[in-house]
Amino acid sequence: MKLSIDQSNKLLSQLTAGVTVVADKQQADKNADVEAVFDNISQVVGKAIRPALEEELKASSDAAFTARYLGTLRSAAHRVFNIPRRELEELSVEQLLAKCKGALESRYTQTDAERQIGLEATVQEYEQQLEQLKAQHEEELKAEQAKYMQRDITARCLGIVEKLPRKGGDLQEQAEMLSYKIQRAYEVRYNENTRRLELYRDAKPAIKEDNQPLTDEDFAREWAERAGILVKDNRHISPADVQAGQQKGYMTMLTDADEQTPGAMNAIEAWAEG
């Protein structure tokens, strides 16, 4: 948009006084303060648009205030006057206060029996809320306890496997496998005092054939022997017999129903025959 000198003078005269646009630089004032003219124009424009801005901000701030505190008012009305929550939804502040006033006035006309029923309903609702909170916290507590229990079991299995005379292999993987096997076979409890695992079956301590308690180390050694990860002294056996024994032990592990995935061998045989 292009403005002529006359149009510019008219615009400036509406925005600020004492300013005139001239045709060339020589006619302009040498000590003219442009910043002062700009500040003057800003003040004039600010005064002009301030009422509209205030109205717009007032509407948005009132809506935010109402949305923030109306929920609190509904909760208070429900607790104090026992008004059902569904009846308080979508109510304005005026309607909510009128609802509370009506509930208060109705109490003066209630009989003792009606007041008693209302109080019992309120108490019952609070009891239900408390039971829900209790159940929720108990579930969270059980989940945390199970997490820390699993951590302690894995740490104990790692310490046991680390002390075994192993042939090699990944220590962490073997400890995790031991943890899986021992929990699959028994109910495992971690004793904070002894820092050992206690094994139970049918809520009774697990025992060995000699009626002695089955310890976590006993189970770990037996499992490690069946898994073939222990080092054995075979110096008195010929190399051919050692190799044959290792192959036999390996085939025993493959055919052990407790060690293989159900249906795994059947799937391999079906694939081979097909």
pLDDT of residue 60: 65
Give the tokens for residue 56: 């717009």
pLDDT, block means (10 residues), the chain with 274 residues: 66 61 62 67 70 69 66 77 75 79 74 74 82 91 90 93 89 92 93 92 90 92 90 59 49 45 40 36
pLDDT of residue 38: 66
DSSP category for residue 230: B
6/4 Cα distance (integer angstroms): 5
154 contacts: CB under 8 Å, gap ≥ 6: 175, 176, 179
pLDDT of residue 261: 41
- Positive or negative, the Cα torsion across 78, 80, 81, 82? positive
Name the nearest CA neighbour of 168 among 230, 217, 222, 224. Answer: 230
pLDDT of residue 50: 73
Provide the CA 266 distance to its chain's centre, in angstroms. Answer: 42
pLDDT of residue 113: 76
Element (H, E) at 90: none
Name the nearest CA neighbour of 191 among 244, 245, 149, 237. Answer: 149
Domain borders along the chain are 40-109, 139-238
pLDDT of residue 102: 80
